Amino acid sequence: MTSPTAYRRFALIGGLALFAGLATWWLVERSTHADTAPTPAGSPAVQATLSRVLAQPVPIYKTGVGTVTATQSVTVRARIDGQLDRVAFVEGEDVKAGQLLAQIDPRTLQAQLAQTQAQRAKDAAQLSNARIDLQRFTTLIADDAATRQQLDTQTALVAQLEAALASDDAQIAFAQVQLGFTTISAPIAGRAGARLVDAGNIVRAADANGLVVINQIDPISVVFTLPDDAVPDIHRAQHSSHAPLAVVAYPRSGEQPLATGKLVLLNNQIDTTSGTVQLKASFANPAHLLWPGQYVNVRLVLGSRDKALTLTAGAVQRGPDGTYVYVVNDDLTVRQQPIVVVQIQDGLAVIGKGLGEGQRVVVGGQNKLRPGASVTETATANPSPARAAPGSGS
């Protein structure tokens, strides 16, 4: 049987629990209403940085990462075996097409050419004598002083010697070509790399490394990739443009362009492994700011939006219902305005819907704002002019 003291203890504990629950509910409700209720008109104004929506032309481009490659790269190799007499180029310097690079000892091939020429002279003398004899047999057979068989035999001898003379001519041409291979010239204009063989060594046509690598670096190429969903946009831009699409190369860290070139290749298939398509651009490179093997950021310019509505990208906020900005009313109160962002580039947000030119928005201090709050402008951060597309004349 429970005593009166125990009943009183249970009643006291139950009362305390009920009081604690009611207090917790009241605090939660108060906090919720404080978060959702508009700021009272009498609250202090929030200091904020404001900006105006600006209409301006904005370039449309795709960005990617590329690798600088030589437009042409040739490994110069010996085409015959022999001793390397001299090297005629300087490592790391530019060479012209046809410039002498190296000389192989030519004496063995010169002797072979002289031998072939002597054989031709011998065969030519025999052919001349055989033709004279053929003329004699032709005269004698008319007087029945020679047989038909003798005439046929002499005719065949003349033909045989003519074939030998033609073979000699071919051997001479071959020997001259081989002798020409002792002089190694630059097949393209470009920058010579490190010397791979020194004079005095025996070089062979089967050597894999060669003598030197020549890279054409002006003009130079950049190979880069873009996602496969960029292909339709690139095709549309190519069909609507009368000139090749512009491509701008930037250093991996920095916004100062290294060079502006043109698109020369959109590969004919998409890499199914990576879901990207390969592209190539060509750049004039007189100052050698681009170098083979260098990694660069690439912008492929597809066109321009003439009067795009832009604002500083810092004004764009993201919430559960999408993107929005705080628009400043005439009485310096703010309201949340849903917007559609087309793209964000170079610190600029391009707005497709929700704002008009000249409207003021908050770009700094949004974390202290609620709809209906008053603001005091502490600074102005209007959007910077968009970087002009290459070749636009701006």
Question: What domains lie within the chain, and their CATH numbers?
Answer: 40-57+306-380 (2.40.420.20), 62-71+213-303 (2.40.30.170), 78-103+184-198 (no CATH), 106-181 (1.10.287)
What are the structure tokens assigned to 352, written together? 């497709």
pTM equals: 0.67
Q: Are 53 and 357 in contact (CB under 8 A)?
A: yes
Strand 295-312 relative to strand 322-328, pairing:
unpaired
User: Rounded mean pLDDT of 311-320?
Assistant: 88
Tell me: the pLDDT tens digits for 32-60?
A: 444 444 545 556 888 888 888 988 888 88
Using omega within 30 degrees of 0 as the cis cutoff, is the peptide bond preceding 292 cis? no
**Strand partners of residue 311:** 349
**Strand partners of residue 377:** 48
What are the structure tokens assigned to 391, written together? 């070749």
Check whether 26 has a pLDDT greater than 80. Answer: no
Q: Are 270 and 229 in contact (CB under 8 A)?
A: no
Most confident by average pLDDT, 254-258, 274-278, 314-318, 363-367: 274-278
Q: How far is residue 100 from each of residues 90, 97, 181, measured CA to CA in Å?
A: 11, 9, 12
Most confident by average pLDDT, 89-98, 334-343, 344-353, 361-370: 89-98
Check whether 80 has a pLDDT greater than 70. Answer: yes
Check whether 98 has a pLDDT greater than 60. Answer: yes
What's the confidence (pLDDT) of residue 232? Answer: 92
Q: Report the alpha-carbon distance of residue 74 to residue 193 in Å, rounded.
A: 10
What are the structure tokens assigned to 40, written together? 């009272």
